[in-house]
Amino acid sequence: MLIAATICLGLLAVATGVGYFIYTWLKVDPIAVASDASDIDRIAAVEGWLNDQFDNCKFNGGVLIIRDGNVLLSKTCGYTDHSATHQLDDHTAFRLASVSKQFTAAGALRLAEMDLLDLDDPVAEHLDNFPFENVNIRHLLNQTSGIPDEYMTLAEEHHEPVGDVLTISKAVDLVMQHSKPDRPPGDAMEYSNTNYVLLAGVIESVSGKSFEKFMSEELFQPLGMNDTRVWNLVSDERSPNQASDFDQIDDDRTPIEPTWLDGVAGDGAVFSSLNDFVSWDRFWYGNSRVSNTLLEQAFDRPKLKDGSRSDYGFGWVVERKRQWHNGAWLGANTYLVRYPKTRSCLVVLDNSSNLRLDSIADEIEEALKPIFTDD
């Protein structure tokens, strides 16, 4: 008994020590800013703090801060890839991971604006042999379809027939052949990457173009977002300003390459720059591609069958004062939040597998709270 107790205590001590080490390694220092600091001083404090995080190998990325359409800070720290030979800049295109979902939603809204679909159309009206008759486009957008988030699992289970690269069309086929809904559509919000891959499939089917080409021709080019594109393993070669992902521990950087799953898009695969996010922020307040009536629906909190409201709009988590989304895939960690009342926006992008990114975003938001909220 004494030996067993001693072993247990030893294991507990080791676990506590490991936990404390991880906590310390992931921790970021708070941003030192006086409660009565001016907006200029707050921005300067954030900029200096970001330099410190980079110097301590805790940040490799970019931060954009906007208030009422004016750029208060556009800041990059670090490198475009593991070789540390090229510096990031305002035109570097970062992998957005799940922040891409709002771009996919905008693609669906553009099709609605073009009268090529209605948001309440059954998905089966636009995807041949789609077996879930009661699921409509809006259910996919609001993550209330009841279709489970399993397209990657299905691809792993059926790797041989899928082949070397999983594509949008192959993922859609896998879902239609092998997936079974967890619940009826509209019952609950369940976050599902599969919903947004299906949306990309709908966009391809309705437009008659690849998802990449449609998004470029109908949104990115007309909006002047020249650094932004959909890129995956079935795309042409990388853009020269496209960042690559890497793991970073202190000064040691190891490249992270896409896998055979990275031929899909819709749930991810958009790359964009801080410069283009200025246009993207402006897009949601009104633009020439999508009417305000449709744009506003992206921030509606959908009513579920039990009468409650979900907090997931069209690629946005919708709260009372703010709308946001984050993402993580390969080495990318991303965060975007907007405060509509003050027309403020914060973008934080990192390509170095940075597990501290949420903490970094939280610190910046807290330091700039008076700017974002007027509180």
Cα distances (Å, whole numbers) of residue 292 to 101, 115, 284, 361:
19, 15, 8, 29
CB contact at 8 A, 5 and 35: no
In the numeric block, which tokens belong to residue 304? 């579920």
How many angstroms separate the CA atoms of 297 and 349, rounded? 26
Nearest CA to 132 out of 235, 237, 202, 71 is that of 202
User: What does the angle CA 316 – CA 274 – CA 138 come to, to the nearest 5 degrees?
Assistant: 20
- Determine phi and psi for 234, rounding to 5 degrees: -100, 5
Q: Which residues of 188-197 are buried (b: 16+ CB within 10 A; e: fewer)?
A: bbbebbbbbb
CA gap 237, 227 in Å, rounded: 14
- Cβ-contact 31, 53 below 8 angstroms: no
Please check whether residue 295 is in contact with residue 129, taking contact to mean a CB–CB distance below 8 angstroms.
Answer: no
98 catalytic, yes or no? yes
Phi, psi of 172 (to 5 degrees): -60, -45
Provide the token pair at 280: 């993207």
How far is 214 from 94, CA to CA, in rounded Å?
A: 20
The active-site residue, picked from 74, 98, 179, 273, is 98
User: How far apart, in whole angstroms, are the C-alpha atoms of residue 365 and residue 295?
Assistant: 25
CA dist., res. 316 & res. 364, Å (int):
20
Sorted by sequence, the CB contacts under 8 Å of residue 137 that are 6+ apart come out as 108, 117, 118, 119, 120, 121, 123, 126, 199, 202
Which residues are tagged catalytic?
98
